[in-house]
Every structure is written in structure tokens, then in C-alpha cells.
């Protein structure tokens, strides 16, 4: 099978760590991460760098955040391995610097932007989002990033642009082969991409984004299943036609384009009505749009959400 069912891992709830230093340390830290990426997994790596003073977002949930260790050691990142523990053990397979993110396609102002320049586009925000995996487990993660709409609007979309395609980094010499058609691709409608909840994340818990969580920049779309939030982005393309994502190519009956969290639509092999929050013993009821219905339901007015899953 392409998907494995999640199992419980013990964790406890903690308060996000204090933030101490300015954003300038990001560049130095990114260099340290690149050096660390040449070391064997068992060798010591540099500690993550704080990202400085952050704007607190009104979009944040007031739920307790999942333990940092769980967030950074229990991951789906198939380019680094298919088991949950593989990505954190294989961070040496991806070097997050130097890094350039391209915004291209149907835009009047295409550009390539270095990761350190991306941080200057807007004040960094901390957004504590619920995240729901299609496998049935969930977390609450304090992401750090900027609204994706900031970058898209600066690129000046052309009138024919209707969708946004996201392309992840892939290095055949170091990363997993097989499993999916690489590089990993995902997509959103343009209005979904411009929604204020949609985030380009560069960190979590106030620190530089770890490799296993999609360094140095990833997509976060909290009302959709987690696989929609593509990691280690190298390209954001505005296109006219609906792109086909990597998981849809692999299993179209299981992974639709919209992939909104909908407890009323079961996965072909399991129910989506409940979820297991990492760190909790009992299952909880899954919320429509992952609890973000008030903000995003209007995007889908008149759509049959059982058909457009």
C-alpha cells in the first residue's frame, strides 16, 4: 500500500518556546544547516535559530500545540522515506541553502527569490493551525510564515490564471525513488491560494523550519488534508488549467483535487469521521473543513463536496 495507518506516539502538551533573536540569524543558521546536511545522521547538528519577534495572527486556534518532538519526528515526507521516523533520520538528504523559489507562469512579474529575501516581503506571523492527515491523525502546529497571497499579488497574476501549481525540490541522487512520480506537485484554485489562511511557512515554534518539516519553505493549507501542503518548494506556477497532483496521479480514487477535510466522505479504506490527535488517548470527532468552515465554506458554495472531494 502507498499509505500506512498512523499509530500512537506518546507526547505531552507544552507552551511554544520563547523567541529571542532577530531575523538576521536566519541566514547564518541556514548556512549551518547546509553544513550539517553533509554530516551523517548520527552526528550533531546545529540547533535551530529563532526567527525573532513575530506578529500574532488572529487566525490562530487557541488549542494547545502538539509537542515539538512529535511535530519534528513524526512526519510524512516521502522524498526522505516512507516511514514516519524516516524524514528526521534523513535530513542529510536535503540541503536547505542556497535556495531559490520561483514564481512563474501566468504572471506579469515573474521572479526568482532567495529564501532570505522571502522573509523581507512581509512581517512574519505565527499561526497556530490544526493540521489533519488523511490517514486519521492530527496535530496543532505553531507555524511561522507569510500569507501566500503576498507573493502572488506582487507577481501580478494575468487574467487567464485560474489555478496555482506547486513544485517541490527533488534530487534523484539522494532522495527516495519510486512510490510517487517525482517531483512532488500539488495545486490549488487561485481563490484558495489567495485566501488569508493559506500560508508560506518558513518556520515552526518560532524557529527556522526543520528539514523534515519541509525546509526552507512549504505550503500550509489548514482546511485541507495535510498532503496538500507541499514541502520544500522550488516553484509556484500560475496556470489556466487544473493541475494534477502527485497523489492524484498515484491514486485518483483516493485523492481528489480539492481534498477538503470532510468527515462525511470516507476514504475508500477507512472512515474520516474521527481522528487521533497526537498526544491524546481518545479519538475526537473530525470537524468540517478541519474547523475552519466559518472562514472557507463560502469558497465552495453550490459545490457537491461528496463529488468534489
CA angle 32, 209, 74 (to 5 degrees): 115
Q: What is the pLDDT of residue 238?
A: 98
Q: What is the pLDDT of residue 260?
A: 97
Q: What CATH number is associated with residue 95?
A: 3.90.420.10
Provide the domain count of the chain.
1
CA distance 129 to 143: 7
Q: pLDDT per position in the chain (309 positions), as tens?
A: 333 333 343 333 333 333 323 333 333 443 433 333 333 333 334 456 678 778 888 999 999 999 999 999 999 999 999 999 999 999 999 999 999 999 999 999 999 999 999 988 889 999 999 999 999 999 999 999 999 999 999 999 999 999 999 999 999 999 999 999 999 999 999 999 999 999 999 999 999 999 999 999 999 999 999 999 999 999 999 999 999 999 999 999 899 999 999 999 998 888 999 999 999 999 999 999 999 999 999 999 999 998 888
Which neighbouring-strand residues pair with 146? 200
Q: What is the pLDDT of residue 23?
A: 37
What length is written for the chain? Answer: 309
Q: What is the pLDDT of residue 167?
A: 98
Which neighbouring-strand residues pair with 111? 103
Q: What is the pLDDT of residue 120?
A: 87
CA angle 164, 167, 168 (to 5 degrees): 145
- Examine residue 8 and state whether it is found in any structural domain, yes or no: no
CA distance 258 to 188: 7
CA distance 73 to 89: 8
CA distance 192 to 300: 10
- Examine residue 20 and state whether it is found in any structural domain, yes or no: no
Q: How far is CA 205 from the centre of its chain?
A: 14
Find the DSSP H helices in the chain.
Answer: 25-36, 68-73, 86-89, 115-118, 148-155, 190-193, 246-250, 293-296
- Cell of residue 85, nine digits: 521516523
3-state secondary structure of 78: helix
- Examine residue 11 and state whether it is found in any structural domain, yes or no: no
CB distance 274 to 285 below 8 Å: yes
- Examine residue 1 and state whether it is found in any structural domain, yes or no: no
- Examine residue 17 and state whether it is found in any structural domain, yes or no: no
- Give Cβ neighbours of residue 47 (< 8 Å, ≥ 6 apart): none
Q: State the DSSP string of 250-288.
A: H-TTT--SS-B--TTS-BTTB--SEEEETT-SS-EEPPG
- Examine residue 306 and state whether it is found in any structural domain, yes or no: no
Closest CA to 250 of 3, 36, 33, 22: 3
Which residues span the domain enclosing 238? 25-300
CB distance 241 to 124 below 8 Å: no
The tens digit of pLDDT for each residue in 231-263 reads 999 999 999 999 999 999 999 989 999 999 999
User: With helix as H, strand as E and coil as C, how does 209-234 read?
Assistant: CCHHHCCCCEEECCCECHHHCCCCEE
CA distance 307 to 157: 29
Amino acid at each position: 500500500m502507498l499509505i500506512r495507518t498512523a499509530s500512537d506516539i506518546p507526547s505531552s502538551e507544552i507552551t511554544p518556546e520563547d523567541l529571542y533573536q532577530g531575523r538576521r540569524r536566519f541566514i547564518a543558521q541556514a548556512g549551518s544547516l547546509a553544513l550539517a546536511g553533509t554530516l551523517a545522521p548520527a552526528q550533531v547538528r546545529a540547533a535551530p535559530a529563532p526567527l525573532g519577534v513575530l506578529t500574532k495572527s488572529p487566525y490562530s486556534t487557541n488549542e494547545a500545540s502538539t509537542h515539538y518532538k512529535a511535530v519534528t519526528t513524526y512526519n510524512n515526507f516521502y522524498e526522505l522515506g516512507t516511514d514516519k521516523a524516516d524524514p528526521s533520520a534523513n535530513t542529510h538528504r536535503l540541503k536547505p541553502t542556497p535556495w531559490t523559489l520561483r514564481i512563474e507562469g501566468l504572471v506579469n512579474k515573474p521572479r526568482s527569490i532567495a529564501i532570505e529575501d522571502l522573509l523581507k516581503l512581509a512581517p512574519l506571523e505565527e499561526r497556530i493551525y490544526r493540521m489533519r492527515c488523511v490517514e486519521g491523525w492530527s496535530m496543532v502546529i505553531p507555524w511561522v510564515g507569510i500569507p501566500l497571497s503576498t507573493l502572488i499579488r506582487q507577481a501580478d497574476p494575468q487574467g487567464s490564471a485560474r489555478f496555482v501549481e506547486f513544485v517541490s525540490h527533488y534530487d534523484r541522487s539522494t532522495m527516495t525513488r519510486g512510490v510517487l512520480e517525482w517531483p512532488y506537485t500539488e495545486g490549488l484554485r487561485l481563490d484558495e491560494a489567495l485566501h488569508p489562511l493559506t500560508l508560506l511557512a518558513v518556520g515552526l515554534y518560532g524557529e527556522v523550519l526543520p528539514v523534515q518539516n519541509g525546509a526552507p519553505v512549504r505550503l500550509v493549507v489548514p482546511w485541507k488534508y495535510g498532503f496538500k501542503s507541499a514541502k520544500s518548494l522550488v516553484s509556484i506556477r500560475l496556470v489556466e488549467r487544473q493541475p494534477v497532483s502527485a497523489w492524484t496521479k498515484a491514486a485518483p480514487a483516493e485523492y481528489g483535487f480539492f481534498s477538503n477535510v470532510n468527515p462525511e466522505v470516507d476514504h475508500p479504506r477507512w472512515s474520516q469521521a474521527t481522528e487521533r490527535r497526537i498526544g491524546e488517548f481518545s479519538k475526537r470527532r473530525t470537524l468540517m473543513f478541519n474547523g475552519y468552515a466559518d472562514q472557507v465554506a463560502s469558497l465552495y458554495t453550490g459545490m457537491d463536496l461528496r463529488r468534489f472531494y
